[in-house]
Amino acid sequence: MKKILVIGAAGQIGSELVPFLRNIYGAQYVVATDLHDNVMPELKETGPFEVLDAMDGKAMYDLVKKYNIDTIFNLVAVLSAKGEANPQLSWKINMDCVFNALEISRQTRGAVFTPSSIGAFGPTTPPDHTPQDTVMRPTTIYGISKVAAELLGDYYYLKYGVDARGLRYPGIISNVTLPGGGTTDYAVEIYYEAIKNKNFMCNLSPGTYLDMMYMPDALNAAVQLMEADPGTLIHRNCFNVTAMSFDPEMIATAIRKHIPEFRIDYDVDPIKQAIANSWPNSMDDSAARKEWFWRAKYDLQTMTADMIEKLTVKLQK
Ligand code: VAH
């Protein structure tokens, strides 16, 4: 039976990954942690919750021993756009947490999941059907920290046998917790604004194609990878995974099938646009398909239908 520690549990992914993991492995075996206890009630009421500054390796080690943890899901990261406002702090937060998770897993013979991102690629990476193994020279501190984390994960596996695995996630779209400080955040915010105001001011320009994925697929991918037979893995840190690639005009068209009067206008954020321009248009995720049978279930149309259905209920409360 896995005993899991989730660090950064209150974020966009963690707030849905914790209940998802508790449902699979048993609530008492999934310890949620975050920097403060002002988190969504579900994290505290459905299983163990601890306040943890994941930059404090001793505190993380003590929790791992207290709960006899054998798997750490490290979801702590300052995202791409926010990281550019304070790159020094962003690097420290992102890397201290990764290093602590790997080093503790070395000492306790545990496994580690650390998400990477399309942000780990840069302007010299082939932008279409971006290969699993390719040029990675990102131009954001977020991307640089993600490449470094990928390399650290493989180092700890090769040198110490730590079962470190990860995914290069695209932009993730969800309806529970809003993302914060990401370049792909527009693809979440657009649904909220479409339902509330029937219009959206988009901060990325038309024609900005980015890989995206609906949260249910992102959660399945994380568990499927961590449950994969290690003998089938050629890669570990980290696998390209994607579900769709679209630009703002395409998501607006999909929304109009449900809200015909929806309008999109543009007020481009130059920082986010420059970051998005440095990222791929679409990734090749054939390595994940071959090595651990990855398949996305949601596309733009089915995601949009589900997002609008769920957010309509949520925003009426
Ligand atoms: C960001 N949502 O925009 C994150 C993600 C693929 C993008 O890493 O920074």
Burial of 18 (0-12, 13-18, 19+ CB in 10 A): buried
Q: Would residue 233 count as lying in a domain? A: yes
70 plus 199 within the same structural domain: no
Q: Would residue 292 count as lying in a domain? A: no
pLDDT of residue 317: 83
Task: Report pLDDT digits (tens) over 148-203.
Answer: 999 999 999 999 999 999 999 999 999 999 888 999 999 999 999 999 999 999 99
Q: Would residue 109 count as lying in a domain? A: yes
Confidence category of residue 284, pLDDT binned at 50, 70, 90: very high
232 plus 104 within the same structural domain: yes
Question: Count of domains in the chain?
Answer: 2
Given a cut of 80, whether residue 1 has pLDDT beyond it is: no
Q: State yes or no: is 29 an active-site residue.
A: no
Q: Which of 141, 144, 145, 183 to mutate to test the pocket of ligand 1 (most atoms within 8 A of CB)?
A: 183
Task: Report pLDDT digits (tens) over 8-58.
Answer: 999 999 999 999 999 999 999 999 999 999 999 999 999 999 999 999 999
165 plus 187 within the same structural domain: no
Side-chain-side CA neighbours of residue 38 (13 Å)? 0
Q: Which domain holds residue 47?
A: 4-171+213-240
**To the nearest whole percent, how much of the chain has pLDDT over 90?**
98
What does the CA dihedral 235, 76, 296, 196 come to, rounded to 10 degrees?
Answer: -160
Counting from 1 in the atom list of ligand 1, the atom nearest the Cα of 169 is: 6
Question: For residue 117, what is the DSSP state?
Answer: E
* Binding pocket residue ranges, ligand 1, CB within 6 Å: 79-80, 117-119, 142, 169-171, 179, 182-184
pLDDT of residue 179: 87
Q: Would residue 270 count as lying in a domain? A: yes
Q: Supply the CATH number for residue 203's domain.
A: 3.90.25
Question: What's the average model confidence in pLDDT over 246-252?
Answer: 98
